[in-house]
Amino acid sequence: MSFWPVATAALALGLVGSLHCAGMCGPLAVAGCAKARGSGGALGYFAGRFMAYTTLGALVAHLGKHAFCILPVDAAHAAAVALTALPAAVRGLTLLTKKPPSGLVPLRAKPRSAWLATLARLLPRHGLGLGLATGILPCGLLFGAFSMAAATASPLLGATSMAAFALGSAPGLVVPLLGRGLAARLSFRIPPKIEGLLWCALAVWLAVRLALGEAGCHAPAGGM
């Protein structure tokens, strides 16, 4: 295989699947970059995503057609979902259980949800960690891209393939992040209870992704 056919095919796959990325990873990107100031969160997210994709692309290409039999795919998927869904659920529960201040509060009193608030801080605030985790989240489209990288049997071409895929699929994630930035400039605020429900919905969606990813990736992997 040569450089340009591999890069072009991966770029086309990313562009075609860009809308898919907006639906699958868009909410997670928006949530994870919400606390960052300026564009730092988004830049960190895309940098982490690019690094994860290219590194794993080189790895699966080095291992070749048996990569998905050798690598602990199930464990990686479960770990990625746990590291993203659990903090999201905790933050949602924190917002749902938080009571508005009323009257005087004893100095030594601790809110019941203090432990929830502590765990909620685990969700990456600057995007980099979240971008890195994106590389191992369960996703049928991503699995297809990694399969293309593995087929090159060359670490350099595998990394190139995933770099092109990362660039091609980026527009589907840029749009949700631009929408978040616009909402912030307009001082649009979601009520805490609604925000809490959205965080919990995000956690559920990530868990569903794990189930869908398991069903979508095992059959092709077993045949390699």
| pLDDT confidence bin for 34, thresholds 50/70/90 | low
Range with top average pLDDT, 22-31, 157-166, 195-204, 209-218? 157-166
Cβ contact 116:90 at 8 Å: yes
* Mean pLDDT, the chain, integer: 79
Distance (Å, whole) CA 158 – CA 6: 9
Distance (Å, whole) CA 154 – CA 16: 24
CB-facing half-sphere around the CA of 210: CA atoms within 13 A: 18
Nearby residues of 158 by Cβ (< 8 Å), 6 or more positions away: 57, 58, 59, 60, 61, 62, 149, 150, 152
3 C-beta neighbours (distance < 10 Å), count: 12
Q: What is the pLDDT of residue 168?
A: 95
Please report, for the chain, the start and end positions of each structural domain, with discontinuous segments joined by +.
Answer: 3-98+111-222
Q: What is the pLDDT of residue 65?
A: 76
Q: What is the pLDDT of residue 133?
A: 85
Q: What is the pLDDT of residue 50?
A: 95
Q: Which residue has the tokens 């001082």?
A: 187
Mind spelling out the 3-state secondary structure of the chain? CCHHHHHHHHHHHHHHCHHHHHHHCHHHHHHHCCCCCCCHHHHHHHHHHHHHHHHHHHHHHHHHHHHHHHCCHHHHHHHHHHHHHHHHHHHHHHHHHCCCCCCCCCCCCCCCCHHHHHHHCCCCCCCHHHHHHHCCCCCHHHHHHHHHHHHHCCHHHHHHHHHHHHHHHCHHHHHHHHHHHHHHHCCCCCCHHHHHHHHHHHHHHHHHHHHHHHHHHHHHHHCC
Q: Is the pTM of this model over 0.95?
A: no
pLDDT in tens, 96-129: 887 665 544 444 444 445 555 555 554 544 578 8
153 C-beta neighbours (distance < 10 Å), count: 15
pLDDT in tens, 160-211: 999 999 999 999 888 888 887 777 677 667 788 888 888 898 889 888 877 7
Residue 145 has pLDDT above 70, yes or no: yes
Q: What is the pLDDT of residue 106?
A: 44
Cβ contact 125:41 at 8 Å: yes
